[in-house]
Structure 1
């Protein structure tokens, strides 16, 4: 490309980053300096034929270019230039190319210009290209997962956990279902868990998240440390301290904070199935999840609430037998199919 055209395009901001960097590199070279000098000399000679103008000291103009490169010294004017300074100002508008060069020299003296062209474009990561690791538990299965950063996750039945393969640098998890987290402290890489609308951020702490789709709500309970819970839909956020919980229900806009019974919420991690004034419909959902069965109701079951505590390994038949004392019903177990019949 013609160098004069490059000068003009550079000033107008028409060059790409790559073209501008190449142009500046050339201009700062000896070849660029020589061509700049020759161009100015040529322009001056052509214009001088048309009208008498004061003589300019070419060394002065070159020294300005050197100043832009950190090589400058004190500027000096020729005797004739000093004598005719006023006349030069009045005729400057006749020299568009000299004004262009003068503007370029001024721009070179501004450090931000060089910085601007030296910046590399910011490239956003392509989230879809990030390799993910997914762990999924069917009903009746609970697992303990050791994450690459040293954190431990207890994943409940009917729950799914996903995280980047490069987890140590990107401690971001997506959870559907329920999990209890023991987070390894790393102040440089916050640990975040996103469940539906809520995102929970922690550094080093233990907390439980319950986000089963069938529940229609997301609940975060803090056992130790400190976490920040944010709602992506309403932009609300809350800070939780140990013994506190936050929840959001589908179709609502209020992120609620309250005191929680952490021991009861986290009993499942220890393999204990606990009901405390729990509705029978909720108990059925939890039994299906815990034992990996499908429970079918025949007849209308009273809207009773039950309490009870069962250790892992307790047979489903025994659990149903105990519950039938509070809510009168009969049951049949055929493989993974369970039928509960209301007593008339």
Structure 2
């Protein structure tokens, strides 16, 4: 009924809590439901011709629109679009609470949901594919002489070449800087590492140090090279790996490369949108490497159980890993 509609301030407060990570489970479900319905109305991304490394940036299919359901929640789309949401290239942007100060720029935050990856095209022509549970922060003046973004989670970047304007991605303590190339950055908050994998071109990686200029970790990692930074001790490892496998999550594949049991558990849980519950006794430092193309969760759990000698179970939306 009309009297039950929330007012503008209530909607503002709810979305502010959601962006800050302070919303309750019920509130997050409500916003996620609205978000999915709003995204359902966006046109599907244009199919791109597969050409070299750029083919890995293919978009995932967008679910069909559900007009009947959308009408029931129309007040969400109208109110939110008037208050804190804007459309940029078919992608929903939520303004952060950050306001500009001096030369500082306001930012917008782009989210992927727990279930869907998201393709984003930035104003300079750079294409970003966000993996699930990820967020990209973009300054509102992004195209004004500098190209800097911040990532939480995982994303594949196909960067438009602009020699006069380097493109940089901040993920935790690491900054990845390029002129025009394609690369993958994986840096979820719960992971112990941040990993950069190069598909084409050269990538420079540096680390933030409190009160000092960033320290250079590598002046140029190239195609099929990865840089892995450990958050606990600051160690860095540069290896040769097949970067096509690392970024194959864009087409639903799952790559496990030199991960411990807890690390692969986190990755598997994210991939299938499950909550990880792992027995704390499983602290073996053994590292596992395997790639799954299109296997379902049950098939993957069976293989990993054989490989790790642990018990994998899916129950009530949870991924349970326990000793045998």
The TM-score, its normalising length taken from structure 2, stands at 0.59
Question: In structure 2, which of residues 115, 133, 137 is the aligned counterpart of residue 162 of structure 1?
Answer: 137
Q: Which residue of 2 aligns with 1:311?
A: 293
> How much does 1:300 deviate?
4.1
Query: Is 1:152 equivalent to 2:134 in the alignment?
Result: no
Q: Which residue of 1 aligns with 2:256?
A: 275
Q: Which residue of 2 aligns with 1:248?
A: 229
Query: Is 1:217 equivalent to 2:182 in the alignment?
Result: no
Q: From the two aligned structures, give the one with the greater strand fraction.
A: 2
> How much does 1:192 deviate?
1.1
SS state at 2:153 partner: strand
> How much does 1:278 deviate?
3.4
d(CA) in 2 for partners of 1:299 and 1:133? Answer: 38
327 and 256 in structure 1: CA distance in 2 versus 1, 3 angstrom threshold: closer
Which structure has more RCO (C-alpha within 8 Å, separation ≥ 6)?
A: 2
Q: Which residue of 2 aligns with 1:236?
A: 215
| 1:42-61 matches, cutoff 5 A | none
Q: Which residue of 2 aligns with 1:182?
A: 158
SS state at 1:214 partner: coil
d(CA) in 2 for partners of 1:242 and 1:265? Answer: 12
Q: From the two aligned structures, give the one with the greater helix fraction.
A: 1
Query: Is 1:323 equivalent to 2:298 in the alignment?
Result: no
| 1:1-344 matches, cutoff 5 A | 126=102, 130-169=105-144, 170-233=146-209, 235-237=214-216, 238-240=218-220, 241-252=222-233, 255-276=236-257, 278-298=259-279, 300-301=281-282, 303=284, 305-312=287-294, 314-343=295-324
SS state at 1:281 partner: helix
> How much does 1:283 deviate?
1.5
d(CA) in 1 for partners of 2:103 and 2:150? Answer: 14
- Tell which structure's C-alpha radius of gyration is larger: 1
The TM-score, its normalising length taken from structure 1, stands at 0.56
d(CA) in 1 for partners of 2:147 and 2:312? Answer: 46
Give the conservation status (yes or no) of the 8 Å contact 1:139–1:293. Answer: no
What is the aligned residue count? Answer: 218
- Cα deviation, 1:150-183, whole Å, max 9, x if unaligned, reads 1111112222111012322231100112111100
Give the conservation status (yes or no) of the 8 Å contact 2:262–2:278. Answer: no
Query: Unpaired runs of 5+ in structure 2?
Result: 1-99
Give the conservation status (yes or no) of the 8 Å contact 1:324–1:330. Answer: yes
